[in-house]
Amino acid sequence: MIFPYLKYLIFIFKPPSLCCITMNKEAIDLILEQNPQLRNKREAFEALKPGAYFWHHSWGVGCVQAEDETNHRIIIKFESQEEPRSMDPVFCIQKLIGIAEDHVLVEARKQPDVIRNLQKNKPCELAIKVLTTLPNHSASGPELENILSQVLSFILTPAQFKHWWINLQKAMVKDPRISTPKRKTDPYQLREEPILPEQEILEEFYLTRRPLEKIALGAKLYQLADSIDAIRNDLPQVLEELTRAIQNARQLTQAQRLEGCWVRNNLARYLHESVEELAPTSQSIIRESENLNELAEALPHMYYPRFLDLLTRTYTDPEDWKKIILNLLKHSNARLTAECINFLLERDCEDLLKKTLQKWLQEQSLRSSVLIWIIRHRALPNYSNLLENILGVRLLNCIFQAIDSDALNVAPGRRIALVEEVNNDQQLIADLLKDADLNLASDLARNLLMNQGFDTLKKRSLMARFIRVFPELQRLTEGKEASHEERLLVSQASLDAAKEEYLSLINEKIPANKAAIAAARELGDLSENSEYKMARQDQSVLLARKSMLEKSLNHAQVINMDEVTTDKVNVGTKVTLKDDKGKDVSYVILGAWDSDPKKNILSYQTPLAKEMLGKKLNDTVTLPSGQKLKISSISRWAQK
């Protein structure tokens, strides 16, 4: 979609030659008489001629094919549509944007071989051709990308264009005619005079006093290493300034210092043979780091292989570096997870890795990133031996516990990656329940229904997969157990908020949507009316939300927080838990709609809350991570 940038496509309609006009003067006069507000648009109506190109915000580029004189309509073929559209001329003038005949979008359609040759052999020339047509010969990254995607839409698929655009960005960095963005907000711009990018980066390097920016500019210089001769005379000073920045900049983190060290070493290889001896060394930064997990988390992904290799050279005893890398794996993000696993496998550590994964599974301490890796790689032959004793009901239970734990630690509404992975993998539930009995499957299904990380639709979808394996589990979604779950305990405040949302739906949003649907109908053919389709989609969402609120409000029961007893854990109590080191953590258990994980406020329906409900002072509570804590106090919660 490029409609935010239509200012680059608009042209002033010029009266075409009489032989090109398809709408006769009488027809235009009649339209203007019926629509006096369009009297200044005569030239626009005259430009609705065969071969003229236009842009629509939903359908993209279209070309006028003919005029239906009988019905006074214009026939336009849009590239995104299979069949030509018959359109009212007034609608065309109001909704379509004309594209200038000399614009590159039109040239791409009229001379496709020329554009195809530029795309394949001279990509920077094509970018320059686009920039030349734009105001000030400049465009932001998204603007240039989107215009080029439309220019090449008939040549490249979206996936091919994405790959081509990445390569074009790299090529433009080295083109002396194009100034590329230094920050996200900067544009691509044609230079008045070509200048080597290395010299431009060097100038910035010397001017900046910020160590982090010096490191970034040093990395850019290295990316242009195929023309290093252009900066060879400057390299000694560049290396000196980089070293000074790494050594003296207190504001740099250890990860930034390590990255700076690597950037300096990359450039130093053009002058020195033993770059690892340049102080500070990368190994010295590793030894100074108190928390390697935090250091790894802060490193750019591209440095992970180099970081892991550095660990083996810093800690020469294999037992030491293996232990460190396994600890990194346990707390890793998604990209580091894969790097750690493959790094260990490449160094014949499969047995150690296998035993470690089985131990974490037994302890139910597998984290989300490792679980996602297991889910994605479980069917690949290369990992069959590694995962042969991992797949099963214990892994599924671990997945649900990890999701429940993640839900406590992310902001409301934030996407949980493990939830999406489980929901999108249609075969996962069946694979992991393959050797389970009905009792185990029932327990897991109940955990799913109470898990606060899944929304209602995802729970239904996953329950259907449980039922395909164990049809007996249908009872969990109907009958006695369903009727028991119908009663929803809620606070007065959350009930009032739900009622307010419901009233807003029926009094404001749904009526406004009906009006939008009625207005969209007036635009004509409903099968070709994107405005109508969008309004109907909004209607589906609003009515679904209305239905869900009605059902929830019918089953809601307000609990009086002021009457809650504290002899045991109840809905409306604050519970303080203490670990064996004396560290406290407190949770408040409230109604079904009151959950606020950032404040440790739990719905009574969550697994952790259910674990605590009914327990008394000094009883033991098991967290989703498997950690056991003791209840040190129970008090009535009072809203501030």
Structure confidence at residue 530 (pLDDT): 59
Q: Which of 45-49, 268-272, 281-285 has the highest mean pLDDT?
A: 281-285
pLDDT at 15: 34
Q: In this predicted structure, what is the pLDDT of residue 316?
A: 93
Note whether 480 and 524 are same-domain residues. Answer: no
Q: Is the pLDDT higher at 552 or at 424? A: 424
In 3D, which of 361, 381, 379 has the Cα closest to residue 371? 361
**Average pLDDT, integer, range 237-261:** 89
Decide if pLDDT at 373 tops 50: yes
Q: Is residue 299 part of a domain?
A: no
> Minimum mean pLDDT among 3-17, 389-403, 562-576: which range?
3-17
Residue 484, pLDDT score: 44
Tell me the mean pLDDT in the region 479-503.
72
- The yes-or-no verdict on residue 513 having pLDDT over 90 is no
Q: pLDDT grade, residue 524 (50/70/90)? A: low
305 in a domain, yes or no?
no
How many whole angstroms separate alpha carbon 429 and alpha carbon 334? 22
Res 73 pLDDT > 90? no
Range of the structural domain that residue 111 is part of: 105-190
Question: What pLDDT is attached to residue 549?
Answer: 81
Amino acid letter, residue 472: E
Q: Can you tell me which residue has the tokens 């697994």? A: 607
Task: Confirm whether 344 is domain-assigned.
Answer: no
pLDDT of residue 401: 87
The reported pLDDT for the residue numbered 481 is: 43
Do 423 and 401 lie in a common domain? yes
- The pLDDT assigned to 6 comes to 43
- The single residue listed with the structure tokens 């108190």 is 290
Mean pLDDT value across the chain = 84
In a domain, residue 290? The reply is no
- CATH of residue 528's domain is 1.10.287.180
Taking only the tens place, the pLDDT of each residue in 120-141 is 999 999 999 999 888 889 999 9
- 471 and 554 in a single domain? The answer is no
Q: pLDDT tens digits, residue range 190-234?
A: 988 888 778 888 888 889 989 989 999 898 888 876 666 778 888
Q: What is the pLDDT of residue 605?
A: 83
Domain end among 246, 277, 308? 277
42 and 112, same structural domain?
A: no
The winner for highest mean pLDDT among 65-74, 421-430, 514-523, 598-607 is 421-430
Q: Last residue of a domain, which of 160, 175, 190?
A: 190
Which residues, including other chains, have CB under 8 Å from residue 67's CB and lie 6 or more apart?
Answer: 22, 23, 48, 73, 74, 75
Percent of the chain with pLDDT over 90: 32
- 328 domain-assigned: no
Q: Is residue 364 part of a domain?
A: no
Residues 20 and 97 in one domain: yes
Report the pLDDT value the prediction gives residue 309, as an integer from 0 to 100: 96
Residues 203 and 267 in one domain: yes
With H, G, I as helix, E, B as strand and everything else as coil, classify residue 511.
helix
Question: Which tops the pLDDT comparison, 530 or 170?
Answer: 170
Last residue of a domain, one of 228, 255, 277: 277
Are both 512 and 537 inside the same structural domain? yes
Q: Check residue 602 and report its DSSP letter.
A: E
With cut-offs at 50, 70 and 90, classify the pLDDT of residue 148.
very high
Is 628 strand, coil or helix?
strand
Residues 95 and 133 grouped into a single domain: no
Q: Is the pLDDT of residue 8 over 50?
A: no
Choose the weakest-confidence range: 58-67, 79-88, 314-323, 532-541.
Answer: 532-541
Q: What is the pLDDT of residues 152-200, one digit of tens each?
A: 988 899 999 999 999 999 889 888 899 888 777 899 999 888 887 788 8
E-assigned strand segments in 72-112: 73-78, 85-87, 97-98
Please report where in the chains the tokens 């190994």 appear, as a residue.
Answer: 283
- 266-286 average pLDDT score: 84
Q: 332-343, pLDDT tens digit by residue?
A: 988 899 999 999
Task: Tell me: pLDDT of 77 over 80.
Answer: yes
Considering its fold, how many domains does the chain have in total? 6
Name the residue type at position 463.
Answer: M
Please check whether residues 566 and 618 belong to one and the same domain. Answer: yes
Same domain, 138 and 90: no
For residues 23 and 96, state if they share a domain: yes
Q: Is the model more confident about 29 or about 297?
A: 297
Domain assignment present for residue 284? The answer is no
Give residue 531's pLDDT: 63
Beta strands in 69-197 (DSSP E): 73-78, 85-87, 97-98, 138-139, 178-179, 188-190
User: What's the pLDDT score for residue 483?
Assistant: 44
User: pLDDT tens across 297-328, in order?
Assistant: 999 999 999 999 999 999 999 999 999 999 99
More confident residue, 368 or 56: 368
* Domain membership flag for residue 432: yes
Contact between 94 and 3 (Cβ < 8 Å): no
Average pLDDT over residues 573-579: 89
Distance CA 101, CA 411 (A): 50
Question: Does residue 611 share a domain with residue 573?
Answer: yes
Residue type (1 letter), 535:
A
Residue 67 is predicted with a pLDDT of 80
Q: Over 90: is that where the pLDDT of 555 sits?
A: no
The pLDDT value recorded for residue 225 is 64
